[in-house]
Chains A and B, each alone.
Chain A
Amino acid sequence: DTGVSQDPRHKITKRGQNVTFRCDPISEHNRLYWYRQTLGQGPEFLTYFQNEAQLEKSRLLSDRFSAERPKGSFSTLEIQRTEQGDSAMYLCASSSPAGEITDTQYFGPGTRLTVL
């Protein structure tokens, strides 16, 4: 029984470069979430998929950010033209079908992005 996995665990890039992160959810989970966490803060919601459909995007998700979940399994988060303000931990979570309020999300280890 494997949990949520994310790759890479760490990414250092130069400002202006594009980066892509991958998330593999728990296999039977049909919901997948992306969050961003900066130092000293809790996770902030970015976007949410149910199967392959992207149902919700935060206003935090600027035009430079795009997320996909093409086959309803793994997901990718791409950041184009990275800025120093994008430096953060990017967390992925998944959950199984449940009531909307009781939706318990299980998180991956995160990808720590540093933009120089």
Chain B
Amino acid sequence: AQKITQTQPGMFVQEKEAVTLDCTYDTSDQSYGLFWYKQPSSGEMIFLIYQGSYDEQNATEGRYSLNFQKARKSANLVISASQLGDSAMYFCAMREVYTGGFKTIFGAGTRLFVKA
């Protein structure tokens, strides 16, 4: 079973509008962390935002916010006021305990296209 599921292979958004990128995860742990990364065509993974499983407030970082719904095991990324530079791949990731330690697992990503 997939640990991290990103169901939208590609998304289009008009410049200056908001967009939500979906992420659902699968874990039986109580303590875990959720991350979003942006990967432009240059290839570098850029950290955007983090949400801990015990955090009661949704995380926000500038134009990025994480819509965390623990019971539904979803951690959607919301980008407000989209800019042309937001066009990139976006990866959702989860860090959890497993036998022997901790690991970070990434989803397959969503490609976002921002239209002028």
Which A residues are within 8 Å of any B CB, using their own CB?
33, 40-45, 55-56, 89, 91, 93, 100-110, 112
Q: Are A107 and B101 in contact (CB under 8 A)?
A: no
Chain A residue with the shortest CB-CB distance to B92: A42
Please, which residues of chain A bring their CB within 8 A of the CB of B95? 100-101, 103
Q: Are B108 and A109 in contact (CB under 8 A)?
A: no
Q: Which of B12-20, B40-48, B68-76, B77-85 is found at the contact surface with chain A?
A: B40-48
Q: Are B52 and A45 in contact (CB under 8 A)?
A: no
Q: SS class of chain A's interface: helix, strand, loop or mixed? A: loop
Q: Are A109 and B52 in contact (CB under 8 A)?
A: no
Q: Are B45 and A91 in contact (CB under 8 A)?
A: yes
Tell whether A42 pairs with B47 under 8 Å between CB atoms, given A56-B101, A100-B102, A102-B52.
Answer: no
Kindly state whether residue B35 has any CB partner on chain A within 8 Å.
Answer: yes
Q: Are B102 and A105 in contact (CB under 8 A)?
A: no
Q: Are B109 and A42 in contact (CB under 8 A)?
A: yes
Q: Are A41 and B45 in contact (CB under 8 A)?
A: no
Q: Are B101 and A55 in contact (CB under 8 A)?
A: yes
Which of B90-116 touch A at CB < 8 Å?
91, 93, 95-97, 100-109
Chain B residue with the shortest CB-CB distance to A43: B106
Give 1 or 0 for each of B41-59: 1 = CB within 8 Å of chain A CB: 0111111001011000000
Q: Are A112 and B31 in contact (CB under 8 A)?
A: no
Chain B residue with the shortest CB-CB distance to A9: B43
Give 1 or 0 for each of B3-41: 1 = CB within 8 Å of chain A CB: 010000000000000000000000000011101010000
Q: Are B35 and A107 in contact (CB under 8 A)?
A: no
Q: Are B102 and A104 in contact (CB under 8 A)?
A: no
The docked-state distance in angstroms from the alpha carbon of A56 to that of B101 is: 8
Q: Are B43 and A105 in contact (CB under 8 A)?
A: no
Q: Are A107 and B106 in contact (CB under 8 A)?
A: no
Q: Are A101 and B52 in contact (CB under 8 A)?
A: yes
Q: Are B109 and A110 in contact (CB under 8 A)?
A: no
The docked-state distance in angstroms from the alpha carbon of A110 to that of B104 is: 18
